[in-house]
Amino acid sequence: MQTLIPYLFPLAATEFDREYLQMKDKGVVALDWVRHLHVHKRKQCTILIIIPGQTGTAVSVSKVCSVAAKKGYRPVVFNQRGFGNSMLTTPKILSNGDPYDLRQVVKYINGMFPKPLITMIGYGTGCSLVLSYLGEYGSSANISAAACISPCFDTGERFSKGLLGLYDMLYLLKLKVIINAHCSSLSRFINFKKMLRSWSFKDFEEVVYSKFYNFANMDDFWEKNNPLRDVDEIAVPLVFINSLDDPFFFRESIPYDLFQYYPHFFMVTTGKGGHCGFVERICDVSWSEALALDYIDSVLEFAKKGYTINYGKNRLRSTI
């Protein structure tokens, strides 16, 4: 129920203005900006980039957008090319481990506002994109703080098995509907008949991404798209929020050693909460979203008071 409630009762009261941004390779991504910002504004422009899971849209994260706007953020939902009800202008879609488009979006926002503070929240598979971006670009990522809600750490084994395979089927079905909408553009690269017959995530990713990335085998693909492949380079305060009853990953896959080794990583685990659920009251912001925003607020407040944080392997130094 925790997993299903956010999908059964989405809050669509937040209004968005959609902006299409062209990438260097002529591909297009969609940015959904919250339309009506509240009177309260921060002294420095603070952007909150929200990255839903692949099957999500701005509506699915509208609750956190509304709360963030009241706190003085400028929330924007990042929709990957071809997803989030966006157009596909080139015959290419990117995997969650490829931060090519996200990098250009961050650069665009930096040029759009005077010295903005940019923060991020990722959901589910969107967390893989957040971690891939932060790891690949390290100290040049230009992100002040980030939060990952229900991340799936083990790329190759991140989806449920056995009786919980129903979640796989529902998720894959929605992905197929989204990608099938672009069949005329992608038919040269994706065997759609084979894709529609794929009911394991391994088979699905192999059919969809093999010609785009030319990987030798699935192990090669997962290695290159592992969200923690460049974890040593992440230089941003980061909080992870997971529930131990999340049907999309195995609790044994949580890398607790990371949070002992890296002082700027924080892990919050709960016994219940499902996948991106953590619901306390229907049609209200979830406990995890409130915590993520509080965490980002605290990091920004810490930085505003004149503290600088130098991160390195197994060390944390704070100075005024």
The span from the CA of 78 to the CA of 83, in Å, is 10
232 is annotated as an active-site residue = no
- Of 38, 40, 246, 257, the catalytic one is 246
- Give the SS3 label for residue 59: helix
E-strand ranges in the chain read: 16-22, 28-34, 46-51, 74-79, 117-123, 145-149, 238-243, 265-270, 308-312, 315-319
- Contact between 259 and 265 under an 8 Å Cβ cutoff? The reply is yes
- Contact between 153 and 249 under an 8 Å Cβ cutoff? The reply is yes
Beta strand 16-22 with 28-34 is: antiparallel
- Contact between 228 and 255 under an 8 Å Cβ cutoff? The reply is yes
- CA 50 distance to own-chain centroid: 7
- CA 210 distance to own-chain centroid: 22
Distance between the two ends of the chain, CA-based, in angstroms? 46
- Residues 6 or more apart whose Cβ sits within 8 Å of residue 46: 72, 73, 74, 116, 117, 118, 119, 300
- Of 168, 275, 284, 294, the catalytic one is 275
40 is annotated as an active-site residue = no
Using CA of residue 121, residue 125, residue 127, residue 131, what is the dihedral sign? negative
DSSP letter, residue 164: G
Residues catalogued as catalytic: 246, 275
